[in-house]
Amino acid sequence: MEIQVQSLDRNLALELVRVTESAAIAASRWMGRGDKNGADGAAVEAMRAALRTIAMDGVVIIGEGEKDEAPMLFNGEHIGDGSAPRVDIAVDPIEGTTPTSLGRENALSVIALSEEGTMFDPGPCVYMEKIAVGPEAKGRISLDLTATENIREVAKAKGIPIREVTVLILDRPRHQNLIEEIRIAGARIHLISDGDVAASISAAWENSGADILIGIGGTPEGVVSAAALKSMGGEIQGRLWPRNEFEKQQAIDAGYVINKILTTDDLVRSENCFFAATGITNGELLRGVRFTPGGAITQSIVMRSKSGTVRQIESHHKLAKLREYAAIPDL
């Protein structure tokens, strides 16, 4: 087992950023063109090409969907060159296809990786209740508490008044009652149009201006976020939120406990997991892809839970050379 862990460190720690860089550059060509499928297809193709070059035997736990609906990077697909180590992988070539297609902020390309058998499979449940915080408030929050109670705990943990706590919430009709509760509590609210993963990281990112994420968002995004928050020393909790009775029964039949609070360690059980993200469009965490004559500049973050290391990387790419081994179209 020790040999496999060393291989995981040596071969994959910084390899993942090449994958997200390639996907981000490909997707950025479609920024603002109003074509979500075109952007997503370009990003998936570029990510797949980069993943083929990595020495690993990976299984996609969270991908683009089932095989019949997603011909590339589908759930259960084996990727990598087939050699050790054996790992679980979660991919989102574009986290924020709508912002990318409309030229809006906070679109990322993301990937998370952990040791084999350690990543939570969402099954039929697309959504979950979730709450995420940084290291200061770790252990102080719970989905069994009200939003007001959680905000008070965060304020105490950070030593600030409630009126200075900033809460991130997806701007969705389902959150109207939650928004009203938080307004009554007296906290600040930052509504986000898209981007569960970026928002979860922001809640734990020093000097981001955000303190806590609350609300219902994507279950796959919750798993990806767990890999990042584990590396940052933060915390995320989730609870499956079936959209209807049929989905609820599917989950129960598959053995899921609907009311169980899923901790960070439930979502990613490994203490040796990795996360990488590259900005597609400009955002609060990362700058988007910038093109130069014959090249491109990307900004990324790479995290490793075992060491707690968080790296910010700015890369300068020669597109002609990048096309030799990555699926980056000249559009």
Bond prior to 161 in cis (omega within 30° of 0):
no
Please state, in angstroms and rounded to a whole number, the distance separating the CA atoms of residues 247 and 242: 6
Last residue of some domain: 267, 299, 315? 267
How do residues 223-273 score in pLDDT, each as one tens digit?
999 999 999 999 999 999 999 999 999 999 999 999 999 999 999 999 999
Which range among 126-130, 225-229, 281-285 shows the weakest confidence by mean pLDDT? Answer: 281-285
Token readout for 266 is 């439930």
Strand, coil or helix: what is 16?
Answer: helix
Please state, in angstroms and rounded to a whole number, the distance separating the CA atoms of residues 111 and 276: 6
Binding residues for Mn(2+) are 40, 64, 92, 95, 221
Q: At what angle do helices 196-204 and 219-232 cross, to 10 degrees?
A: 20
> With 80 as the cut, is the pLDDT of residue 331 above it?
no
Cβ neighbours around 79 below 10 Å, total: 22
pTM: 0.90
How do residues 151-167 score in pLDDT, each as one tens digit?
999 999 999 999 999 99
User: In this structure, is residue 65 part of a structural domain?
Assistant: yes
User: Do 261 and 298 fall into the same domain?
Assistant: no
Binding residues are 40, 64, 92, 95-97, 127, 172-174, 194-196, 218, 221
DSSP 129-182: EEEEE-GGGTTT--TTS-HHHHHHHHHHHHT--GGG-EEEEE--GGGHHHHHHH
User: In this structure, is residue 331 part of a structural domain?
Assistant: no
User: Do 232 and 294 fall into the same domain?
Assistant: no
Please report, for the domain that includes residue 51, its CATH number. 3.30.540.10
Please state, in angstroms and rounded to a whole number, the distance separating the CA atoms of residues 236 and 143: 10
What are the angstrom distances between the C-alpha of 154 and each of 2, 140, 172, 198?
39, 7, 23, 19
User: Do 193 and 261 fall into the same domain?
Assistant: yes
Strand, coil or helix: what is 24?
Answer: helix
Q: Which amino acid is at 40?
A: D
Binding residues for substrate are 95-97, 127, 172-174, 194-196, 218
Residue 60 backbone phi and psi in degrees, to 5:
-75, 110
Domain region containing 262 = 127-267
Last residue of some domain: 220, 244, 267? 267
